[in-house]
Homo-oligomer: A and B are copies of this chain.
Amino acid sequence: MNAKTTPLLSLTPLEKTPAQGVNLWVYHSLRRALMCGQIEPGLPLTIRGLAELMHVSPMPVREALHRLTCEGAVEVRDNRRVMVPQMTAARFKELYELRIVLETHAAESALPYCRPEHITELERLDALIDLAYQHSDTGEGSLANQEFHRYLYQRNPFQVAVPLIESIWLQLGPFVRFAKSKLTQHYRIDRHKEALQALRQQNAFALRRAIEADIRDGLASIQAVEGIHEHFKEQALSA
């Protein structure tokens, strides 16, 4: 195996569950590793290398990589090499703007379907976020945060936006994780509380504002990281 992929030694596969099948297990493990910033952007991922690392045949890895490609999490270069793209400032900005557009829409579309028991569950999920941050576990905090948002948006049984939102999260994941590892403290206004209040009041405007503010707060905390801008790849205009 090419030494350039040794950063993958930090890859921690999820527990194997037989019901899931190798295919899904590989996908979820890679997805998790990617979201947690365990895969170095710019380094080529090889099918056989990952298969060896995860003790599976190349087929499920191949399919998982293709799926992650489809979701925007990894990109295929001209030489057919697959890798996590390096983040550029402009793309980062576009992804965050799109996140706001999509998530405020998804939240509002879910509003009519939110029942008191849903709000109770959201409160529980929000408490899990607080717990993670109390333990200074930003990885768990991020995943719990996503679970909160995902649960909310999926209260709409006809919701079609979630796969799109997940794709944006995936694309932002590595860089956000890196940035958050530089944070020395996590002080946050709990916009989720504001969202919950808006849900109780069935106030669409307030809900959109809370979700947007939540996302912008997250963006601001990343931008406040000293020297973060130097970690963006020099951006090149499309050919």
Chain A contact residues, CB within 8 Å of chain B: 63, 66-67, 70-72, 88, 90-91, 93-95, 97-98, 101-102, 105, 109, 156-161, 163-164, 167-168, 171, 235, 237-238
Contact = CB atoms under 8 A, between A and B. Distances in A.
Contact of A97 (B67, B72, B109, B157): B109
A71 B156 CA distance: 20
Given A67-B70, A70-B70, A160 B95 contact: yes
A157 B237 contact: yes
A88 B158 CA distance: 9
Given A66-B67, A98-B105, A158-B94, A163 B237 contact: no
Contacts of A90: 157-158
25 contacts: A63-B66, A66-B67, A67-B70, A70-B71, A72-B163, A88-B158, A90-B157, A91-B158, A91-B160, A94-B109, A94-B156, A94-B158, A94-B159, A95-B160, A97-B105, A97-B109, A98-B105, A98-B160, A98-B164, A101-B101, A101-B102, A157-B237, A160-B171, A163-B167, A164-B164
User: Nearest 7 pairs between A and B by C-beta?
Assistant: A70-B70, A90-B158, A157-B238, A164-B164, A101-B105, A94-B160, A94-B158
Main secondary structure, interface of A, reads: helix
Nearest to A160: B94
Contacts of A102: 101-102, 164
Contacts of A161: 94, 98
A209 B141 CA distance: 39
Nearest to A158: B90
Instruction: Identify the interface centre among A66, A88, A160: most chain B CB within 10 Å of its CB.
Output: A160
Nearest to A164: B164
A106 to B, nearest CB: 9
Given A94-B161, A97-B105, A98-B161, 11 more contacts: A67-B70, A91-B160, A94-B109, A94-B158, A98-B105, A98-B164, A101-B101, A102-B102, A158-B235, A163-B167, A164-B167
A98 B109 CA distance: 10
Nearest to A167: B164
A120 to B, nearest CB: 19
Contacts of A101: 101-102, 105
